[in-house]
Structure 1
Amino acid sequence: MLDSSHLAVVGTTLLVVAACVLLHFEVSSVLSRLMRRTSPSRRRRFLGLMFGLLTAHVAEIWLFGLAAWWLEGTTSGAVAGAPMVNGLDYVYLSAITYTTLGYGDVFPEGPLRFLMGTESLTGFMMITWSASLTFLEMQRHWNDRG
């Protein structure tokens, strides 16, 4: 049976996943358009693409980290292991989850596991999406002069 803590985690997770997917779509669309429209050197185009995608991933990690921080304070979920002192600790937890690096010094317990488990899947998908976009753009632009 789902209690209010579980429902809060599920609802928050759905909102954060939707925000990350929409953010990633918009950033990818803008970057792809810029790759076609701009005429600077190949180096500048690809550095812009890489830094743009990296920025999107960092923003997505922060969204999940802030959600975990908020949920731990408002639900029965917890983070075990090393003490969680401030919001950056939750961003760290989010980063190791998003990148599917895995848990070592900190890990979620209780309903918070749903958020973090879903974040792993979302992160894997967003990273794969970025890799696919990068490959397609490299294939399209690599033979350009400059």
Structure 2
Amino acid sequence: MALLLGFVLVGALGIGHHYGLLAVRGMKPNSNESPQAAIMVVFLGLLTLHTIEILAFAVVYWALLGWGGFGGLGGSYDASWGGLIYFSGINFATLGYTQIETGGTIRMINMMQSLGGFMVLTWSATFLYSVCERAWRE
């Protein structure tokens, strides 16, 4: 059940990320006319997009912990929003190596978030690289 939920959450992450990239692309100035501005808008847009994705998973963890059917968090977890955001961000960006420990089936969601974070971070890096490549053409 937890693996399936993790799969659905990562699927939603990918769909949301796709539309987020489209929004960032829509805000980006023309790379030929304003190359530095294009790079900065994309960078800041991606930073915003990833922050929203991290916050969304923190809300999911909050809901799952409140429900109680998926296990819990231990170690240095302090049961605060800041702790959930930190946990979500570490899972998203570094494959889950943290002082916060998972117990129960919530580990599957933790693992799937790490997979999804890796996927969208590399997707974003490719997107930023393509903008830089166009902006820096001689």
TM-score (norm 2): 0.85
State the identity %.
27
Q: Distance in 1 between matches of 2:96 and 2:9?
A: 20
Does residue 118 of the first structure (1) align with residue 112 of the second (2)?
Answer: yes
Q: Distance in 1 between matches of 2:84 and 2:28?
A: 34
- Out of 75, 88, 91, the residue aligned to residue 85 of structure 2 is 91
Q: Distance in 2 between matches of 1:34 and 1:72?
A: 37
Task: Please report how far the alpha carbon of residue 101 of structure 1 lies from its aligned counterpart in structure 2 after TM superposition.
Answer: 5.3
Farther-moved stretch of structure 1 (30-39 vs 94-103)? 30-39
Shift of the 95–54 alpha-carbon distance from structure 1 to 2, 3 Å rule, reads same
* Counterpart residue number, 1:43: 36
- Out of 6, 9, 14, the residue aligned to residue 21 of structure 1 is 14
* Counterpart residue number, 2:46: 53
Q: For the pair shown, which has the larger CA radius of gyration, 1 or 2? A: 1
Deviations 1:14-68 (A, max 9, x none): 4432331122101212323444657762221111100111111111111111111
Does residue 71 of the first structure (1) align with residue 54 of the second (2)?
Answer: no
Deviations 1:101-136 (A, max 9, x none): 543321211110011000010000011001111111
Task: Please report how far the alpha carbon of residue 97 of structure 1 lies from its aligned counterpart in structure 2 after TM superposition.
Answer: 0.7
Task: Flag structure 2 segments of 5+ consecutive residues without an equivalent.
Answer: none
**Residue type of the partner of 2:134?**
R
* Counterpart residue number, 2:123: 129
SS of match in other structure, 1:107:
strand
Aligned-CA RMSD value: 2.2
Task: Flag structure 1 segments of 5+ consecutive residues without an equivalent.
Answer: 1-6
